[in-house]
Amino acid sequence: MYNFLLSQKFSNGFKTRGFGFFGVVVILVLTFVIGCLAFKARYDQWKVWNFNKNITFFQDSPVLSTADGPYFVHLAKTLDQNQSIASHTEKRFFPEFDKEFRSVNDQETSKDPSFFELPLLPYIIKSLSKLYNNDYLLASNLLIPISAFLTAVFIFSLFFALGFGFEGVIAAIGASLSQSLLIRTSIGRVDTDLLNVGFFYSILALIAASFRTDNQKLSFVFISLSGFMNLLFTFWYQQPGFFFPFLITIVILQIAHKMKLKDSIYQIILFSIFSGPFFVLKSYTNFSAFISKFFSFNNVNVDNNTLIFPDTFQTITELQRPDIIEYLKTVLGQGNEWVGVVGIIGLLFFILFNFKSSIVMLPAFAFLIISILVGKRFTMFALPIYWFGIAYLFISLSYVLISYIKLFKTIENQVKIFMSSCICIGLIILISNISISSCKNNSFFNCNPKYIPMPSFSGEITKGFHSLQSNNFDQSSIVITWWDYGYWLNFFSGLSSVHDGGTQRSAKTYLVANSLTSSNQKKSYDIMNYVVSSNLKQVLNDSKKGATFFENRISQSHPINRPVLLILTKDMVGWWSSITHLGNWDVVNGRQKDKASFERIDCKITSQSQMICGDTILDIDNGTTNNGNQLDNLVIAKNGSLVGNYDYNNKKGKISMLIDIVGNKRSFYLVSPKTLTSTFTQLYFFNLPKNNLFKLVKDGYPFYRVFELYK
């Protein structure tokens, strides 16, 4: 067996392919086909969205299926209307960037960023919107299928440059239709993820091409183009730290290929120059920030008095580390775990027989490892190599088989192209069928995909945010709500928020969460006033002086001279686990405490004194169940008001029950007693604000409620 694996015929089947002119034509045709399939997967979703405008459109424009998307759309609108970017920034992370606040505190006002300091995406949305009557949301969504086509072609380019064109076709379509990347680039997902993977692989492709050519001048051309593509990638993603893994890969390739020192220096200089000196200078800081951001979730307490705030990243699912099977299931889809296993086996064979060629894939290998260690957020950069490994293994084995059949000796190359094409077509069909983009109705041309993203937030909440632009609300108002709403709120309401998707890791997110989970409305009121009157520097300075000082600073805070609105929504019921993880955090010892959730259960009321929940019978009068458990209390809310409260004073239990009645619909929740008395529950479910603290100014129950803080 060992001799067989090392035999010339066997090893040749696993090495670089020779396509010939006809083979290249076949590969390019297949590449165009898979590019169209990637395009179609998103366009099918768009057609469903267009058919369900009552859910997916707002004021005749399609909405988004990502909370970050409005940031880019809002920037595009700001650019198109010739407004200052500072005016856009001032709406975020109040009062950090607010012009008035900075002026009062003798701070320099925010400056507009330079042309290259803004992501490329808003510029593209701005230009494309001209074709659609300045409908930025429509232009953004129509950009998605086009980006999918380009991503598939860019992924293919790396493996074609390495000499594995047929495998590149499968790597491209496999990644494009895999669960992880498809979800992140589905309709409505207006984000830099649309082209991040494509840019990443196109840069590696050009680096590979520069080392595979024997023409020195052409090698310099390819390395210059790779630098220019890196410039576009950085302009697009605003993460110049990627310069380092690309540069390291180039240096290792130079060593492996025994390149002359003079040529090596020329390559590095050309790559650096065409990557943009401005971005190169910022790359080290960005790379260091990346390491700190994703590999160190907790603050280090260097002083016993310094409070340790929780990290929002600990509550983000895609940054959690599941076991390997759960990881593969989440990334590739349930039932497709085999793709990861077989793909890695194929990769090992590829590295064994093509070591020099595999070096260029080091950044992709690195992201594969990082995604396992840090979370599936980075898997999209490694997805193509799973499918490449599968295609490489199958095609290589077919080549080995062909080489041992004497009948094919004179037409071996043609047979290999034929077999490669058949394997490719078979895998394309397989990928299309196991993907969540496959058609539920089995109609290719009138496809109803299995996976169709929903808008990030309901139409009612979007409508509620937009209504804040009316004359009934002061346009200088500051909004306190959960960070997921930040960009959405800024875009649809035009008002300022205190935190968003770009600032959710700050201490202010802890403070907002703590105000929502507190059972003392006065404390919640004080925290909110502290949040809107203190910038992050002040908060951190106060936190270094111990818990007592910090609490005193909060209790002594005063209202600001602008309206402060508190928006509570139905979504927060589902987010309560994350909110309590952060809000109940022990900042003195730096550990989680009292995490809770609204646990939805199915119950049926059988009489005035009894209900059945699953197999459990609950006696409403005394709060006991037939299995010996005791409720702390049971409360009933109807259409946003408290209508019933069974307080079992003498028989305290660990769990309470909330029955929420809206119209004819009843929802049953098991909650902790503290959750039931929290400011969130008291205001959102019961509308029971304490005197001179909060007043209801807009009631959109059961979707949202807007309260204003008394001055």
| DSSP one-letter string for 120-168 | HHHHHHHHHHGGGTT-HHHHHHHHHHHHHHHHHHHHHHHHHHTT-HHHH
Is 392:174 a contact under the CB 8 Å cutoff? no
Segment 98-148, tens digit of pLDDT: 888 777 766 666 778 889 999 999 999 999 999 999 999 999 999 999 999
Q: Tell me: the pLDDT tens digits for 257-295?
A: 999 999 999 999 999 999 999 999 988 888 787 776 666
Q: Which of 171, 152, 158 is nearest to 211 (CA)?
A: 158
Does residue 581 register a pLDDT over 50?
Answer: yes
Quick check: 120 and 232 in contact, CB under 8 A? Answer: yes
| pLDDT higher than 90, residue 548 | yes
Length of the chain, please? 711
pLDDT grade for 2, boundaries at 50, 70 and 90: very low
Phi and psi, residue 637, nearest 5°: -110, 140
Are the beta carbons of 271 and 247 closer than 8 angstroms?
yes
Q: What is the DSSP string of 617-665?
A: EEETTTTEETTS-BEEEEEEEETTEEEEEEE-TTS--SEEEEEEEETTE
Q: Which two structure tokens, joined as six digits, stand for 223?
A: 């390395």
pLDDT per residue as tens digits for the range 353-390: 999 999 999 999 998 888 777 666 678 899 999 999 99
pLDDT of residue 627: 87
% of residues, the chain, pLDDT over 90? 73
CA–CA separation, 695 and 498 (whole Å)? 20
Q: Which residue has the tokens 């970050």?
A: 68
Q: What are phi and psi of 349, to 5 degrees?
A: -65, -40
Distance CA 76, CA 121 (A): 8
Taking all residues of the chain, what is their mean pLDDT, rounded to a whole number?
91
pLDDT classification of 691: cutoffs 50, 70, 90: confident
Which pLDDT tens digit goes with each residue over 435-459?
Answer: 999 999 988 889 999 999 999 999 9
Alpha helices in 257-307 (DSSP H): 261-274, 277-295
Give the residue, 109 or 695, on which the prediction is more confident.
Answer: 695
Report the 10 Å Cβ neighbour count for 544. Answer: 13
The domain spans of the chain are 459-583, 597-671
What pLDDT, on the 0 to 100 scale, is given for residue 1? Answer: 47
CB 392 within 8 A of CB 352: no
> Is the separation of the CB atoms in 600 and 613 below 8 Å?
no
Q: Give the mean pLDDT of 187-200.
A: 96
Buried b (16+ CB within 10 A) or exposed e, 450-472: ebbbebbbbeebbebbeebeeee
- Among candidate residues 383, 344, 326, 420, the one with its CA nearest the CA of residue 38: 383
Q: What is the pLDDT of residue 208?
A: 97
In this prediction, residue 320 carries a pLDDT of 57
Which residue has better confidence, 426 or 104? 426
Find tokens 């012009």 and name the residue: 99
Q: Report the predicted TM-score, pTM, of the whole model to 2 decimal places.
A: 0.91
Dihedral of CA 129/130/131/133: which sign?
A: positive
459-583, what's its fold? Answer: Pyruvate Kinase; Chain: A, domain 1 (3.40.1380)
Q: Which two tokens stand for residue 185?
A: 């680039």
Percent of the chain exceeding pLDDT 70 equals 94
**Which residue has better confidence, 616 or 336?**
616
Q: What is the pLDDT of residue 512?
A: 97
User: What are the φ/ψ torsions at residue 309 (nearest 5 degrees)?
Assistant: -85, 150
How far is the C-alpha of 691 from the C-alpha of 344, rounded, in Å? Answer: 63
What is the band of 86 on the pLDDT scale with cuts at 50, 70, 90?
confident
pLDDT, mean of residues 58-81? 95
Q: Worst-scoring range by mean pLDDT, 130-134, 206-210, 321-325?
A: 321-325
613: exposed, middle or buried (C-beta count within 10 Å: 0-12, 13-18, 19+)? middle
Written as six digits, the tokens of 503 are: 């600032």
